[in-house]
Structure 1
Amino acid sequence: MNKQELVDAVAASTGASKAATGEAIDAFIGAVTAAVRKGDTVQLIGFGSFSTGARAARVGRNPATGAEIQIPAAKTVKFTAGKAFKDAVNGH
């Protein structure tokens, strides 16, 4: 499911217009992005949580030449599924 299909599904479920639903989804994505960028965790009870993680700097290899390269440290985004979401996917 892509973003437009999500907008269509939510609009059909709520009866709201597709334009309003699209704006709401964009606002949701923006709010989650801003919170996680600040280092906060966004918890949606029953669905899951978005948070940041850290990946340490390490030495990697260029697969084409075999030369060693330095891979810098980076922040990562983590999503941990909630129990209700896992149960729904597993059919419990």
Structure 2
Amino acid sequence: MDKKDLIVQLAKKTGSTQSSAKKFLEAFTDLIADNLTVDNKIRIAGFGTFEVRARSERKGINPATKEEIIIPASVTPVFKAGQVLKNIVAENNDKLGK
């Protein structure tokens, strides 16, 4: 599913227009991005947690030259699914035989 499909389904589920659904989705993703730069964690009960994690500087290997390189420290956004979401996914995968 891509963003366009998500907007269509969101509009159907809420009974709103696709234009309204698009505005809502864009506002939601903007709020998550903006708040992760300030708060570093957003919890949505039953769904999951968005947070920022720091990665230390580390050694790596350039695959083209096989030369050892230093990968600089960085921060990256991550999502950890909540138990309710995990259960829903597991239940649906059981139905599909996965």
Q: TM range, normalised to the smaller chain?
A: over 0.9
* Map of 1:72 onto structure 2: 72
Q: Percent identity?
A: 34
CA shift, 1:46, in A, is 0.8
* Map of 1:33 onto structure 2: 33
* Map of 1:53 onto structure 2: 53
Matched, 1:85 2:75: no
CA shift, 1:37, in A, is 1.4
Letter paired with 2:25: I
Letter paired with 1:53: R
Q: Deviations over 1:61-83 (max 9, x none)?
A: 11121111111000011111011
SS in 1 for 2:37: helix
Residue correspondences, number: 92
- Structure 2 length-normalised TM: 0.88
Matched, 1:23 2:23: yes
Q: Which runs of 4+ in 1 moved over 6 A?
A: none
- Structure 1 length-normalised TM: 0.94
**Aligned equivalents of 2:58, 2:9: Cα separation in 1:** 43
